[in-house]
Amino acid sequence: MAYSLEVRPPYLSVPLVEFATKLPPSALSPFLRTKILLKKVAARYLPSEIVNRPKKGFGIPMARWLNRDLNPLMHQLLDPVVLKRQRLFDPQFVEKLISQHENRQKNNYKKIWTLMTFQLWSQNWLQ
């Protein structure tokens, strides 16, 4: 997809796509089970605990990065002066989120990261 992590190019070979387009939908995911054919093939080569394990996301250590490498950028983008000028977000509330996160009182990385990405988007498209 546009900028997310995707690891599927090996499955885009022309013969495989041609084969898959000839399959009935029921062969691809009967009864809401996904990747049936892929799992059957993988079962020949991999242990059952790998083939049948639950889906797992790809996590990154964003909370730690906000306290380390991304900390200067966080403070630059969410500077109270900038936020006051924009009049979109409550600077005191944002400062509280940052303070709680930096002092490890509360893991606010999702809220902070959302604000940061908005600020970057805003700089690129609204200014």
Q: State the total domains in the chain.
A: 2
Q: What is the pLDDT of residue 112?
A: 98
Flag whether 57 is in a domain: no
Q: What is the pLDDT of residue 27?
A: 73
Q: What is the pLDDT of residue 5?
A: 62
Flag whether 2 is in a domain: no
Does one domain contain both 43 and 75? no
* Burial class of residue 109 (count of CB atoms within 10 Å of its CB; 0-12, 13-18, 19+): buried
Flag whether 19 is in a domain: yes
Q: What is the pLDDT of residue 8?
A: 60
Flag whether 43 is in a domain: yes
**Domain around 107:** 62-125
Task: Tell me the mean pLDDT per 10 residues along the chain, length 127.
Answer: 60 81 76 76 94 85 97 98 96 98 97 97 89
Does one domain contain both 82 and 42? no
Q: Which of 82, 121, 72 is nearest to 94 (CA)?
A: 82
Q: What is the pLDDT of residue 13?
A: 81
Flag whether 1 is in a domain: no
* CA–CA dist 17, 20 (Å, integer): 5
